Amino acid sequence: MHGVLREQQFRLARHLRDPERHGPPAGLEDRRLRLYRELFYGNIEALLAGSFPVLRTSLGDQRWHARVHDFYASYRCRSPLFTKVADAFVDYLQGIEPDTPWQRELAHYELIESQLYLSDAKDPDHDPHGDLLRGEPLLSSTARVLAYRWPVERIGPAYQPLEAPALPTLLLVYRDAALQVRFARLSPMAYRLLTQVRGNGRERLQALAADQQEGLALLESLREQGVVIGTR
C-alpha cells in the first residue's frame, strides 16, 4: 500500500509540473487538477516575476511564461526554501539556449540586487577610521563589484541590444543606509583597485600605476557612502 501511494504522489507531482508530458493519477477530476496546476505554477511564476522584474518585462508574456514553464517542468531544485528559487532559476539559465544573448547576465544582475536587498550579512571586524592607504580597505558585506559583457543596468523593454559593446560593463552594486539597492559604473582603474590587486591601498595603487591622490579620493568617497567600511 505504501508503494502504491508513493507512486500516486510521484505521478501527481509529475503531472502538475508538466501536464503535457505526464498524465494524472487515475480517478482525479480534471477540474480539481486544473486548480492545483494553476496554483502551483502561479506561485512559482509570481516568485520569479518579483525577483526578475526587468527580465520579465523585457522578454514579454509569451517568452517569459514559456521559460518559466520549462524551468518548472525540467529543473530539479535542491533546496526547499522559496528564497532559493531565484538562485535556481539563474542556474537553470546556464544550461539552456537563451532567448536573448543578454538574458543570463541580466538575470544574474537582478539576482544580486535581490540578494543585497534581503541580506542580513554582518560586516567583518574592521577599523572604520583606518588609513585607507596604509591599511587594507574593506567593502561592505552588502556591496558587490561586478563585470558583464552586456550593459545590464540599461537593458529593458525599450533597449535590447543585439551585440555586446566593445568594452565590458563594470559596476558597483550596493545597499545604502536607507536600505535601497543602488549601482554605480566603475572605471577600469576603480574596478581593478576594488577587486584584482591585493595589499594595502598604497600597494594596490602602485601596482596599478595609478595616481595615489585620485585613488584615495575614490576610496574616501566610497567610505562616506558606506561602501568601503574601513580597513581590516
Output the domain CATH number for residue 203. Answer: 3.90.930.50
Q: Where are the beta strands (DSSP E) in the chain?
A: 137-139, 143-148, 169-175, 181-185, 228-231
The mean per-residue pLDDT over the stretch 166-195 comes to 94
Residues 167, 223 within the same domain:
yes
- Does 18 have pLDDT greater than 60? yes
Instruction: Report d(CA 187, CA 194) in Å as an integer.
Output: 11
Tally Cβ neighbours within 10 Å of residue 27. 6
- Does 219 have pLDDT greater than 80? yes
Mark which of 99, 129, 158 sits at the end of a domain.
99
> 203: domain range?
137-231
Provide φ and ψ at 182, rounded to 5°. Answer: -130, 170
How many helices (H) does the chain have, and how many strands (E)?
A: 8, 5
Q: pLDDT class for 155, splitting at 50, 70, 90?
A: very high
Predicted confidence at residue 5, as pLDDT, reads: 61
Residue 167, C-beta contacts closer than 8 angstroms, at least 6 positions apart: none
Asked whether residue 131 is assigned to any structural domain, the reply reads no
The mean per-residue pLDDT over the stretch 176-202 comes to 89
Predicted confidence at residue 13, as pLDDT, reads: 66
Residues 158, 217 within the same domain:
yes
58-111 per-position pLDDT tens digit = 999 999 999 999 999 888 888 777 788 999 999 999 999 999 999 999 999 999
Greater confidence (125 vs 23) lies with 125
Mark which of 53, 72, 99 sits at the end of a domain.
99
Structurally, the chain folds into a number of domains equal to 2
Mark which of 75, 99, 123 sits at the end of a domain.
99
Q: Is the dihedral of CA 181, 187, 190, 193 positive or negative?
A: positive
In the DSSP assignment, the letter for residue 159 is B
